[in-house]
Chains A and B, each alone.
Chain A
Amino acid sequence: MSTTPKVEELVREPGFIRYLIICLVALAAIFVILAQHNYELWSFLPVLAGTLGGMTRFGPALVALAVCMLLNAPPHGNVPFLRNEYVNMADLTFCAAILAYVMAHCRLQSMLVLVFPPDPRRRQAALDPPAPGEVRRQPPILRQRRSMRVVSAHEIGLLLLALPSWAFLAQVALQHLAEVSLRFKEAWLRLEQVELGGQRLSGPRLELWFPIVLVWTFGIGLYLAAAIISYVRWRQLTSPEAALFLQDTLWQETRREQRRIHRWFVWDWIRRHRA
């Protein structure tokens, strides 16, 4: 868990091999789709970024940036790439491939680098006692990695199932958001024309409706999710935790009075004790 795995050991670990294969297949899929869209040699750019970035923790960011840059860079930038339809297999595969690379790379990172943040309280086994005259050094902080042996076929199956699901859901969500923002835009235009006689309102610009809808959707969604989790958490307070909460509330409300009373008590006790 704490020692750095060697290459010979990695090759023998099925967990490592499985995720490595997923990474490579994902990069190959990205390459194929880009090549189909006549990106020619530029199709290698994400593969290169993914291969080089795969050795570092910046792999997903590099691949995503390379893809984004490639899609919008001239001369190919003028050619629409994805169709923005509800279900399009090419789009689905492309997004799923990027997601597969991100998931597999992050899982490899948690097995090779860290799965939990370094905790200064957790340290490796004590070093040998120092020689006379030497200063005792603290053992290094334990690096908690995920063991490769715990990777199961079930986990891989779930990952493969998740890829098209999330890509499909994103397509649907994006299309739906676009439609909702279009409806808002039309409603706004109707309001301008019907109620205000064609006068321009000092409201948001028509092009801004999509970002507004997106931000509101994300905001409300995250707030609801946090509210549900928080509610579940409050419902599950144990008796001492609830007592602690009540005590804390009382203290917050009366801390000045409590402080004054107890300080006088302590002062009096110390005076009597000294006397």
Chain B
Amino acid sequence: MLSPRTIRSSLSRLSKANASIGGGMFTSRGSWFILFVFGLLAFAVVGQFVAQVAAPNEPMRFPNLPSVALIALTLALWFIAEWFLFAVRATRLRHRLQLTRVVLDEQGPADTLWAGRSFRVRLTLELSPGLSFPYVQLADRLPFGVEADPEAARYEGALEAGEKVEIAYRLRCPSPGRVRFEGIGVQLADPQGFFYHETFLSAAVVYRVLPPLVDSRGHAPTVKRHNLLLPPGIHRYRRPGSGSELLDLRDYLPGDPPKTIAWKVSARRDRLITKEFENEVPVRCTLFVDTSTSVRLGPPGQNALTRLVEIAAAVAQATTATRDLTGLCLFDERTTTVVRPARGSRHLVHLLNILAGAAGLAPTSGQSNLDELIPLGYAFAQEVYPEMMRADLNRIAAVVPWLAPQPAYTRRQPTTGDRLWSWLPWLLLLYGLAGAGLIAVLLLGPALWLAKALGGVLLLWVLMGLMAFLLFLRIPIYTFFPHRRRLHHWRKRLAALISVHYGLAPEGLGLFLEDDEQFALYLQRFLADHQVPYPLPFYDERGHYLVAAPGKVAVLAAALLHSVGKGRDNELFVLLADLLELPERLDPLVRAVKVALARHHRVLVICPWPPGIAAPGTSEARQDEADGPDAADPAERELQSAMTRATRNRFHRAYDQVRHSFGRLGVPVICARSGDPVRSILDKLELLRGLGRRR
């Protein structure tokens, strides 16, 4: 229940907001103009008064001052009316503009998009009857990573009441994942450029971007090589079974069905010979896709996860084309998402949807640097949630960062600056006492002495004292942690927004202001949900790599064992996992692979490769030429070159270690960047079918 104090405070804030200018903001042109007009009006009115007071019985020296007042009043009334109309328009704009978005392909409206294909986006804005807007600029906020012409996604001009405006442009998504359309940015101005208002018409829509359809190379060959065409999804398996294709002839054993005896051969050899037929079984392929933080690093669409998703999608499409069963297991450091092997186009679409969702995942870490994240989040929130960042709704008292700075003991790794900042109130007190004493000495001591001795110089000293006082007030603003105070303001506003956005109000705000880790995680989630790329630290203060995600090895091993337990004869397990940072921690996975091999399954490991580093088997000279450092300073260039070499060597060593670990079991390890991993997987499937075809 709200206390009387709370109600009073709310009313006080309402009255403060009432006093502020609602909706409209003055441009510098508008500010100077109204200042000039009011100055002119004041000059005319006050000048008239002064003239009457100074010489009441004489004729007016400036008899045309009323004319000046009339001119100024004309301009002032016009300006105030324009402001009032503009403010009302700006206030009502958001609620009167209806936005409809449709994404179209060749056949009509599309619910999902395909990577690599072009789509048409059509926006319709309808203004409800009532006020019209003389000048607006509308700009659709393009999602990150898409290819579109920003100029085509704009509209400029008047918006009449009841009118519909259409914006249409073409869009292409280069990589799978998600595309989020936030809404449309609206800028409103009057024709004179006196006022402007900026807001955002939020209409968030998320579209899945499915991986591209594979080309003909990705498909398995469909040339008929046998007399009998098997049902789709059934393959010949070169083990004796109950198929229809002859596999071998052997001596008859008691118990063999008499109908399989090859009578002519038996007659020739003078003993009973029986026919063995091929087995006919389905081939299953289960794809284990790593979605841990280590593969999410990098810009969306260009990271290792996108590559893994593309490979998995291509394999899924190829196996679906041959009616093979395809399963999927997404895993990270903690969880797994399993889709049992199945076949059919519906299953393929299901898989592609899951893969598209995985491709859009962003890395998260509670150990992020908030000094980098907060400005990014604040700028984004200012653009997309301007109303939630309004000072009258989301405010922070100016004294809060001065008097209640964040203490060092609530930080995980406090720096010297953090420790010093927490002492700010005491530093201020010390500064205040010392400064006040100095000014008192400056003002009172010499001033009194000088008043007696010099008389006229007293004024000079008073002025100097006043200047010193002003300086005394200004110095702390620029010297006592201005960056931290500004970040504190921004953090409060962001915390309030995120708390409401994720339904954590009212306690979320207080929590986010004190708990760095929770705030970092939620801020990253907020940015990731809105598809804003953000920086993430790779190493902690002790030099430990933060995003290796060692927990995923155990999770992957458990998932593999589970699949082996559920599996049947003829299965291929493809591990699409980044293991390059964990070559010494592969034991659980190696044991699980041994179990899979013991059950006559086949395993294939595909390692994603970081961009910018020469893949194994690539010519180093060529790679150096491609990724060569571009620094101007030779020393810096040399340093960059040495670092590139060191990183490349480290990754190559790790790759060799992983290959060695799995090579002992006969499991091939393939680099995702070199060669054609999709072809390798499909070849492996062919071997499983026992056909041993070579293309």
Contacts and interface: CB of A to CB of B under 8 A. Distances in A.
A230 B5 contact: no
Given A132-B630, A144-B137, A173-B73, A262 B501 contact: no
Given A60-B33, A133-B632, A243 B80 contact: no
B553 interface: no
B186 to A, nearest CB: 12
A265 B514 CA distance: 9
Interface string A216-241: 00100111011111111110111011
B75 A64 contact: yes
A241 B73 CA distance: 39
Contacts of A234: 14, 17
A98 B74 contact: yes
Nearest to B17: A230
A273 B515 CA distance: 14
A99 interface: yes
B78 A162 contact: yes
B75 A98 contact: yes
A187 B67 CA distance: 27
B623 interface: no
A217 to B, nearest CB: 11
Interface of A is mostly: helix
B395 A248 contact: yes
Interface residues of A, number: 101
Contacts of B72: 64
Contacts of B36: 60-61, 64
B9 A247 contact: no
Contacts of B9: 249, 252-253
Interface stretch (B103-111, B274-282, B332-340, B402-410): B402-410
Given A110-B191, A236-B91, A244-B394, A227 B18 contact: yes
B388 A208 contact: no
B75 A84 contact: no
A80 B514 contact: no
Given A232-B22, A265-B515, A121 B77 contact: no
B222 interface: no
Contacts, number: 277
Given A207-B52, A255-B510, A266 B78 contact: no
B388 A82 contact: no
A265 B191 CA distance: 55
A262 B510 contact: yes
A21 interface: no
B67 A241 contact: no
A174 interface: yes
B127 to A, nearest CB: 16
Given A253-B6, A266-B410, A241 B191 contact: no
A245 B509 CA distance: 12
Contacts of A162: 78
A222 B80 contact: yes
Given A82-B64, A121-B379, A229-B87, 11 more contacts: A71-B67, A80-B67, A81-B64, A114-B193, A132-B632, A146-B191, A170-B73, A233-B17, A244-B505, A262-B511, A266-B515
7 contacts: A99-B74, A116-B196, A150-B135, A150-B157, A166-B78, A233-B22, A253-B9
Interface of A: 1, 57, 60-61, 64, 67-68, 71-72, 77-82, 84, 91, 94-96, 98-99, 102-103, 106-107, 109-110, 114-117, 121, 132-135, 144, 146-147, 150, 152, 155, 162, 166-167, 169-171, 173-174, 205, 207-208, 210-211, 214, 218, 221-223, 225-234, 236-238, 240-241, 243-256, 258-259, 261-263, 265-267, 269-270, 273
The list of the 3 closest CB pairs from A to B, nearest first, reads: A229-B22, A258-B510, A110-B193
